[in-house]
Chains A and B, each alone.
Chain A
Amino acid sequence: ETGVTQTPRHLVMGMTNKKSLKCEQHLGHNAMYWYKQSAKKPLELMFVYNFKEQTENNSVPSRFSPECPNSSHLFLHLHTLQPEDSALYLCASSPEGQGVGADTQYFGPGTRLTVL
């Protein structure tokens, strides 16, 4: 395993529900990322956090709300999602700026989200 865990692994929700995805890294990294992986599409970067500060929001709809309380934890809060938001959501971390190997991202197993 990579040292990045994600829960839950599978989630089914209705369009009116509110749910949260959780990511935790045990690698001492300072940067964390959310990606969306849809069928037949490249991975889409959603958000980047570095030392708990959001450094990138890739024009993500406001129904996705990230939260990074510390460098080890990252959440993605979901509300009023659409069926087209069904996808695999991947979390990653990297030791950004920490010298050799700082450029490599390590991924969690993902949360498979289905919106009904």
Chain B
Amino acid sequence: AQSVAQPEDQVNVAEGNPLTVKCTYSVSGNPYLFWYVQYPNRGLQFLLKYITGDNLVKGSYGFEAEFNKSQTSFHLKKPSALVSDSALYFCAVRVYGSSNTGKLIFGQGTTLQVKP
């Protein structure tokens, strides 16, 4: 079955330190992978995606993610965390539905808490 796992419910990091939010996936074929962020009382905002090419993908707000095919992982990273990065982060993989329309399967989300 196609799935996405985020093994940590919460990640705590001090401001200025590097952060990593983990994601692993299980999908047949080449994966299209995404990271979204959700601030309180808001919808999901697109951060970055991996489709093909360079395994290190750069996205919004200084975030980047590293695709590792052998480990089936797509971890989100940032060299220096900000308090304003505190939010709920979702990893997702794109799959195709019965009509060949794309859809996303999401992980359960990881709450990032950055302390001053």
Q: Which residues of A contact B (CB under 8 A)?
A: 2, 4, 6, 31, 33, 40-43, 45, 48, 50, 55-56, 90, 92, 94, 96, 102-110, 112
Contacts and interface: CB of A to CB of B under 8 A. Distances in A.
Contacts of B43: 2, 4, 6, 90, 107-110
Interface residues of B, number: 25
Contacts of B46: 2, 104-106
Contacts of A40: 108
Tell me what chain B mostly uses at the interface: helix, strand, loop, or mixed.
strand
- Which 6 A-B residue pairs are closest in the complex by CB-CB distance? A107-B43, A55-B99, A107-B44, A43-B106, A55-B101, A109-B43
Contacts of A110: 42-43
B115 interface: no
Interface of B: 32, 34, 36, 41-46, 49, 51, 90, 94, 97-99, 101-109
Contact of A42 (B32, B94, B97, B109): B109
B1 to A, nearest CB: 13
A94 B46 CA distance: 12
Contact of B104 (A50, A102, A105, A108): A105
A33 B45 contact: no
Contacts of B34: 104
A41 B103 CA distance: 18
